[in-house]
Amino acid sequence: MDSASILLVLSCLGIAQALFLCLYLFTLKKGNRKAHVFLALIIFGLTLRIGKSILNTYIHLEAWQRNLGIAGILLVGPSLWLYGKTLLNKAPKRIGQSLPHYIPYVIFSVCCALIPNRFDTLSLAIYYAVFGHLLLYLLLAALLVFRIRNQSQKAVFHWYRNLVIGVGIIWAFYVGNVSGLIPFYIGGAICYTFLVYIFSFLLLRKHTFHLEKYQGKPLDQNTSKNLMNDLEALFENKAIYLNHQVTLAEVAQSIGTNAKTLSRLINETTGRNFSEFVNFYRVERAKKLLASEAAQHEKIASIAYDSGFNNVTSFNLAFKGLTKLTPSEFRKQTLVKN
């Protein structure tokens, strides 16, 4: 297989993955439907533009077909900005109030057969105007990122910031290409493929489709600090994590708050969910037991139960996830060092 075929396969894989994400988001009923739609439109708009790049590299496209691909960029900017506003509950309540932002896309698509695309000065000016439209919304999105850096939950901030950066990279690539600074035309599709898979991994790993769970302002700093101190004291001094059946509600009641606030506190402060937070303490205890001479002949199962886990499988998964080693490997390494 030659390099051209490899590039084609990689590009097509990115497009297929992007279309899958679009379909998933458009049909997802849980969470904030409006946010899902805006995110799907971002991906779909980029897919139209990237798809045009792929097809135009390997087959001849008519001018109107190339224009339909370029029109996808006019979807991306408004959707990116409105997606950020929606995550913060600052977008228009009615979807109809957002429609004026999509007028340029509708006009460009309807008039695709009339808009020149002949690689002349006028065509180039139109191309720059389309990407200027995206730049305007990128700047608005970047301004939104700057404003929410201390006003939103960390996971929301990091996700939206990275999304803006990803779109910005694609914008820079295509503007650089048409300006002659970046000669590798199909590179935009390759870049998009990697970004799509990175974002897919983040979405599935952190379940980012439900970022709306913690929208709005973060917890008050003093309240957050006091609750976190109480929580750490409960885990470090009373070792509540040794209870195999410990629940979020039980811990919340112990420190005088509710389950929702505690869940948000742990997420904003540590970047973990409740189960991950509990398992962190359990694994730390297990590490001490595995490293102690007194317990060097203890079975792994016994150490798992003594650390608060109710089965060996979940212990092994949690331990390797945090240490990159299995409990047995960790014990061997520790004994060798000692």
Burial 15-41 (b: 16+ CB within 10 A, else e): bebbeebbeebeebeeebebbbbbbbb
Sorted by sequence, the CB contacts under 8 Å of residue 306 that are 6+ apart come out as 242, 285, 286, 289, 298
The reply to whether 221-337 shares the fold of 3-214 is no
Q: Does 241 or 214 have the greater pLDDT score?
A: 241
Instruction: Tell me how far apart the alpha carbons of residues 272 and 332 are, in angstroms, rounded to a whole number.
Output: 29
Instruction: Tell me how far apart the alpha carbons of residues 31 and 1 are, in angstroms, rounded to a whole number.
Output: 44
Neighbours of 308 (CB within 10 A): 22
Q: What is the pLDDT of residues 41-60, one digit of tens each?
A: 998 998 888 888 777 777 77
- Is 90 exceeded by the pLDDT of residue 75? yes
Burial class (CB in 10 A: 0-12, 13-18, 19+), 243: middle
Q: Identify the sign of the CA torsion 243, 245, 250, 252.
A: positive
Instruction: Tell me how far apart the alpha carbons of residues 101 and 216 are, in angstroms, rounded to a whole number.
Output: 24
- Residue 256's closest CA among 284, 276, 228? 228
Burial 152-183 (b: 16+ CB within 10 A, else e): bbebbbbbbbebbebbbebbbbbbebeeeeee
CA distances from 220 to 150, 225, 254 (A): 11, 9, 20
Q: State the average pLDDT over residues 214-243.
A: 81
Instruction: Tell me how far apart the alpha carbons of residues 57 and 37 are, in angstroms, rounded to a whole number.
Output: 30
The reported pLDDT for the residue numbered 60 is 79
Q: For the chain, what is the mean pLDDT? A: 82
- Is 70 exceeded by the pLDDT of residue 151? no
- Is 60 exceeded by the pLDDT of residue 193? yes
The reported pLDDT for the residue numbered 29 is 74
Q: What is the CATH number of domain 221-337?
A: 1.10.10.60
Sorted by sequence, the CB contacts under 8 Å of residue 191 that are 6+ apart come out as 169, 170, 173
Percent of residues, the chain, with pLDDT higher than 70: 81
Instruction: Tell me how far apart the alpha carbons of residues 242 and 278 are, in angstroms, rounded to a whole number.
Output: 9
Domain boundaries, given as residue ranges, for the chain? 3-214, 221-337
Instruction: Tell me how far apart the alpha carbons of residues 271 and 124 are, in angstroms, rounded to a whole number.
Output: 46
Q: State the average pLDDT over residues 163-177.
A: 86
Q: What is the pLDDT of residues 260-310, one digit of tens each?
A: 888 888 887 887 889 999 999 999 999 999 888 777 788 999 999 999 999
Q: What is the pLDDT of residues 11-40, one digit of tens each?
A: 677 777 788 888 888 887 776 788 888 989
Question: What is the value of pTM for the model shown?
Answer: 0.63
Q: What is the CATH number of domain 3-214?
A: 1.20.1070.10
Q: What is the pLDDT of residues 2-19, one digit of tens each?
A: 666 666 676 677 777 788
The reported pLDDT for the residue numbered 174 is 82
pLDDT category, 185, cuts 50, 70, 90?
low
Helices (H), 112-240: 121-148, 154-178, 187-206, 221-237
**What's the token pair of residue 97?**
């109030």
The reported pLDDT for the residue numbered 222 is 79
**What's the token pair of residue 234?**
């409960």
Instruction: Tell me how far apart the alpha carbons of residues 2 and 6 are, in angstroms, rounded to a whole number.
Output: 6
Instruction: Tell me how far apart the alpha carbons of residues 50 and 13 are, in angstroms, rounded to a whole number.
Output: 12
Contact 170, 42 (CB under 8 A): no
Sorted by sequence, the CB contacts under 8 Å of residue 256 that are 6+ apart come out as 230
Helices (H), the chain: 3-27, 33-58, 63-87, 103-110, 121-148, 154-178, 187-206, 221-237, 248-254, 259-270, 274-291, 300-306, 312-323, 327-337
- Is 50 exceeded by the pLDDT of residue 209? no
Contact 49, 37 (CB under 8 A): no
